[in-house]
Amino acid sequence: MPFSDYKTALVTGASAGMGEAIVERLCEEGLTVHAVARRESELLALAERTGCIPHVIDVSDVAALTRLCSEIEVDVLVNNAGISHPGSIATAKEAYVDAQVDVNLRAVLHLCRLTVPGMMARDRGHIINITSIAAIYNFGGNSIYHATKAGVHALSRQLRVDCCGKRVRVTEICPGRVATDIFGNVSGDKEGAKKQFIDGFELPTAKDIADTVAFAVAMPIAVNIGNIEITPTLQVPGGLSTLRPGDAG
């Protein structure tokens, strides 16, 4: 359904990176964009620049999300908010498990629960779930992040079944490495993370992800773009390790 058939969008994780770029792009397309994030100053600056409607909300606050969704009619939902903490399940801290489940998975489930019935009743809507190649491929570390993103991957497939017979489209976008601050946010060392993960690499930008969102939304009503992987040309996901007994120790 072209942009002209949609009126409003709700974007989470909107104050920086991919979320910020998605808000900018959807505003450019003429949608009324409700931007949700925790960081008030960045969110207000985004609203001043783009005309979006800011909502200072932590997506783990289900009561706040419920109030917001009861006040607006959402045509395009972009579940972008996400956090990550490094480490395997063997070394995971309780707080890290809970935080990632709350933000990466629980909030997405609730936002879909709160918005999909209205989309189905109006026979109009588009859900964009920003996951990760970590939802599909396995690689070392960040085990809880992998699990939560895989949950949203499964949900994205299931939503198509739940909405069958209605013009409600579901798109999952799975980025690989993108030139954003997420690596610094995870480690707490933004300069060190930039040198390790960004500098010298040819990487997609946040704008590239926003353009992909716009591409999926702009398709005719008869077209549902189900899943898109976006990686650097020079990045290859996946791999296979085979160890002899004792090698891992």
Question: Of 156-160, 231-235, 237-241, which gets the smallest average pLDDT?
Answer: 237-241
Q: How many domains does the chain have?
A: 1
CATH number at residue 197: 3.40.50.720
Backbone angles phi, psi at 124, to 5 degrees: -160, 125
The arithmetic mean of pLDDT across residues 177-181, rounded, is 88
pLDDT of residue 208 exceeding 60, the answer is: yes
95 falls within a domain: yes
If pLDDT is split at 50, 70 and 90, which confidence band does 244 have?
confident
236 falls within a domain: no
238 falls within a domain: no
142 falls within a domain: yes
Give residue 164's pLDDT: 97
242 falls within a domain: no
97 falls within a domain: yes
Is there a catalytic annotation at residue 145?
A: yes
The whole domain housing 149 covers 3-230
- Summarize pLDDT for 45-102 with one digit per residue, the tens: 999 999 999 999 999 999 999 999 999 999 999 999 999 988 899 999 999 999 999 9
Give residue 1's pLDDT: 53
Single out the residue of 116, 133, 146, 222 nearest to residue 172, CA to CA. 133
The arithmetic mean of pLDDT across residues 172-188, rounded, is 82
CA distance 14 to 81: 7
- Summarize pLDDT for 102-153 with one digit per residue, the tens: 999 999 999 999 999 999 999 999 999 999 999 999 888 889 999 999 999 9
Three-state SS string over the chain comes to CCHHHCCEEEEECCCCHHHHHHHHHHHHCCCEEEEEECCHHHHHHHHHHHCCEEEECCCCCHHHHHHHHHHCCCCEEEECCCCCCCCCCCCCCHHHHHHHHHHHHHHHHHHHHHHHHHHHHHCCEEEEEECCHHHCCCCCCCHHHHHHHHHHHHHHHHHHHHCCCCCEEEEEEEECCCCCCHHHHHHCCHHHHHHHHHCCCCCCCHHHHHHHHHHHHHCCCCCCCCEEEECCCCCCCCCCCCCCCCCCC
Predicted TM-score (pTM) of this structure: 0.94
The arithmetic mean of pLDDT across residues 159-166, rounded, is 98
What's the chain's average pLDDT? 93
144 falls within a domain: yes
Strand 76-79 versus strand 168-175 pairing type: unpaired
The arithmetic mean of pLDDT across residues 233-246, rounded, is 85
247 falls within a domain: no
pLDDT of residue 170 exceeding 90, the answer is: yes
Single out the catalytic residue among 6, 96, 137, 145.
145
